[in-house]
Amino acid sequence: MATLTEAPPPLSPTAPTKKPPRKRGRLTPYWLLLPGLLWLVVFFALPMIYQASTSVQTGSLEEGYKVTWHFATYWNALSAYWPQFLRSVLYAGAATILCLALGYPLAYLIAFRAGRWRNLIMILVIAPFFTSFLIRTLAWKTILADGGPVVGALNTLHVLDVTSWLGWTAGDRVLATPLAVVCGLTYNFLPFMILPLYSSLERIDGRLHEAAGDLYARPATVFRKVTFPLSMPGVVSGTLLTFIPASGDYVNAELLGSTDTRMIGNVIQTQFLRVLDYPTAAALSFILMAAILLMVTFYIRRSGTEDLV
């Protein structure tokens, strides 16, 4: 890489005078980085260390905590709360798949079919970012209300019979069931799927589609063999951007779910802010972090886009 830029020979004997700025430039990047990195080290990395130490402490709120390398906290936390862990992965996974299925057509529409409507649709996708997501999540309570139009329609179509049998809903209600939580998660993280999908679809050269068509590929084949593979970077970053925050979320499970739909975020929140059992809470959040990092690394390896990180 360096050899390419070194190619042009100095045009004049005054070339060496360019040296001083370069020398000054050697320290410049460090000065530019210093404040921001200091912030991240003190308020992101250091807290992780504090949390690691908290997770192996024992004691009580009154007498204070001491580091006793009590690793059993991890084991106890995991054996007590594995259902919530499992639920988090299942709900976040379901929401991610739904986001992909719902978001892909919209991203495709904006990238290739929207024409002069493109900007308007883009605004409508982004604008909800600026409206409080809590207010919008609460609106789902109205939409999914018992006896409301959505529940009524699903009931008439006998969808609720099937979902109840699967355990996704309970009787003829949707609120306070897993379906409501997954619906809320899907809704909340959908823009995080659409935007990366759109930016990778937008980069695809439309002539590739024409070429595939000229070679007698049917639209479905064009999609399967050309469009989808080329949009893989968007698919990978979109799924990560939805799965990671969804797995740690506790707002949807709290507002739209019940005690039977608690996710690990709810447990961490309760342990930290209400029970005040700091070691258990710290251990749980460390397990969550490790699980996410493991899954993400594995996923990125499998999907073959390591340059993403």
Partner 1 sequence: MPLVNRLKRHFVVIAGLLTLGYLLLPNVVVTVFSFNKPKGRFNYEWQQFSTDAWQDPCGVSGLCGSLSLSLQIAVWATLGATLLGTMIAFALVRYRFRARGAVNSLIFLPMAMPEVVMAASLLTLFLNLGAQLGFWTILIAHIMFCLSFVVTAVKARVMSMDPRLEQAAQDLYAGPAQTFLRVTLPIAAPGIAAGALLAFALSFDDFIITNFNAGSTVTFPMFVWGSAQRGTPVQINVIGTAMFLVAVLLVLTSMAVGNRRNKQKA
Tell which residue, 288, 300, 307, has the closest CA to residue 235: 300
Q: By the 8 A CB rule, do 244 and 253 touch? A: no
Does residue 258 touch partner 1 according to CB under 8 A?
no
**Rounded Cα distance, 304 and 307, in Å:** 9
CA–centroid distance for 8 within its chain: 46
Out of 128, 202, 230, 277, the only residue in the binding site for partner 1 (CB under 8 A) is: 128
Q: Which of the 8 DSSP states describes residue 173?
A: B
User: Least separation, in Å, of the C-beta of 128 and partner 1?
Assistant: 6
Structure-block tokens of residue 232: 């893989």
Out of 149, 273, 274, 302, the only residue in the binding site for partner 1 (CB under 8 A) is: 273
**From 6-14, 159-167, 210-218, 249-257, span contacting partner 1 (CB under 8 A):** 249-257
Categorise residue 232: left if φ over 0, alpha if ψ from -120 to 50, beta otherwise: alpha
Does residue 162 touch partner 1 according to CB under 8 A?
no
Structure-block tokens of residue 224: 């399967």
**Rounded Cα distance, 177 and 85, in Å:** 17
User: Least separation, in Å, of the C-beta of 171 and partner 1?
Assistant: 19
Cβ atoms within 10 Å of 57's Cβ, excluding its own: 17
The footprint of partner 1 on residues 68-127 (CB under 8 A) is: 102-103, 105-106, 108-110, 112-113, 119, 121, 123-127
Does residue 136 touch partner 1 according to CB under 8 A?
yes
Out of 73, 84, 96, 137, the only residue in the binding site for partner 1 (CB under 8 A) is: 137
Out of 4, 12, 23, 30, the only residue in the binding site for partner 1 (CB under 8 A) is: 30
Does residue 272 touch partner 1 according to CB under 8 A?
yes
Number of residues that bind partner 1 (CB under 8 A): 83
Out of 97, 145, 204, 230, the only residue in the binding site for partner 1 (CB under 8 A) is: 145
Cβ atoms within 10 Å of 88's Cβ, excluding its own: 26
Does residue 251 touch partner 1 according to CB under 8 A?
yes
Tell which residue, 247, 237, 242, 245, has the closest CA to residue 300: 237
The footprint of partner 1 on residues 168-207 (CB under 8 A) is: 187, 190-191
Does residue 222 touch partner 1 according to CB under 8 A?
no
The footprint of partner 1 on residues 32-61 (CB under 8 A) is: 32-33, 35-37, 39-41, 43-48, 50-51, 54
Cβ atoms within 10 Å of 121's Cβ, excluding its own: 15
Out of 21, 64, 149, 206, the only residue in the binding site for partner 1 (CB under 8 A) is: 21
User: Least separation, in Å, of the C-beta of 57 and partner 1?
Assistant: 10
**Rounded Cα distance, 307 and 235, in Å:** 14
Tell which residue, 238, 233, 241, has the closest CA to residue 292: 241
User: Least separation, in Å, of the C-beta of 289 and partner 1?
Assistant: 5
User: Least separation, in Å, of the C-beta of 70 and partner 1?
Assistant: 16
